[in-house]
Amino acid sequence: MLKKYLLALALCILCVGITTTAMAETLDRGKRGDQVRYVQDLLVTQGYLVDEADGVFGNNTEYAVRVFQKEKGLDVDGRVGPATLAALEKNHNKFAKEGKKIKKSAGAPDRYSKVLTMEASAYSAYNPGNSYYTARGNLLCRGLVSVDPDVISLGTELYIEGYGYAVADDTGGAIRGHKIDLAVDSYDEAIQFGRRDVTVYVL
């Protein structure tokens, strides 16, 4: 019995050592795996992430990390390094000790300045004639959207139902008034999206 206990204890210590070493790697957009899922779980239970913890570090996860970093006075880079991870775990433990349970939001953020109903279309860097860069000079990718600057100022953070968190980063000749063009990952995805009305929360 004692030997089994000592063996189990040794395995636990070994696992903790492996987890700590692995988590020393900085997590950022595009990373996948159990460590990303662990960070997402922390963000979800603390009310920062409205998505499921799927193990993919995408736009919404990056946005949630940025919000957390800003609130905690950390460097706001949207990446999870040792300092951000330690702060997430400390905050999680604080809630646990206080008996607080923060459930995942059902969708829309709690805080926003206004809500707009807009006609949405989708586009990608691979659409014929499209540039690989936005009007603000960023590489076009999911999470960046095209707007009419007279309606939504460039640089504005948004939450779009059915799409997620985004930044108004681009403009287009056909995007006028209450229209919005959502960047997606491929030309086929853009075509399949079609046109539809969406609710846009201006953060």
pLDDT band for position 129 (cuts 50, 70, 90)? confident
pLDDT in tens, 165-196: 899 999 998 999 999 999 998 889 999 999 99
The pLDDT value given to residue 62: 87
Distances (CA, A) of 160 to 22, 66, 164: 34, 18, 5
Q: Cα 81–82–88 angle (5° rounding)?
A: 90
| Token reading at 14 | 């070994």
Range with the largest mean pLDDT of 19-28, 60-69, 118-127: 118-127
pTM of the entire structure? 0.55
* Domains 16-98 and 114-202 belong to one CATH topology: no
Q: 36, 27 in Cβ contact below 8 A?
A: yes
The pLDDT assigned to 3 comes to: 45
The answer to whether residue 148 scores a pLDDT higher than 50 is yes
Q: Which residues have a Cβ under 8 Å from the Cβ of 123 and sit 6 or more positions away?
A: 130, 146, 172, 181, 182, 183, 184, 190
Residue written as token pair 């923060």: 102
| Domain range annotation of the chain | 16-98, 114-202
Per-residue pLDDT, averaged over 112-122, amounts to 92
Query: Running DSSP on this structure, what letter comes out for residue 23?
Result: H
Q: In this predicted model, what pLDDT tens digit does every residue of 9-23 receive, in sequence order?
A: 343 433 344 344 345
34-45 helix and 59-71 helix, angle to the nearest 10 degrees: 50
The pairs formed by 90-94 with CB atoms below 8 angstroms and a separation of 24 or more are: 91/42, 91/46, 92/42, 92/45, 92/46
> Cα-Cα-Cα-Cα dihedral of 47, 49, 52, 57, to 10°?
-150
Checking if the pLDDT of 131 tops 90, the result is: no
pLDDT: which is higher, 199 or 24? 199
CB 183 within 8 A of CB 145: yes
Q: Which CATH class is domain 114-202?
A: mainly beta
CA trace torsion 101, 51, 132, 200 (10° rounding)? -90
CATH topology of domain 16-98: Muramoyl-pentapeptide Carboxypeptidase; domain 1 (1.10.101)
Q: For 41-100, how does the pLDDT look when each residue is reduced to its tens digit (9 = 90+)?
A: 888 877 787 667 888 998 888 888 988 898 899 999 999 999 999 999 888 777 666 655
pLDDT at 112 over 60: yes
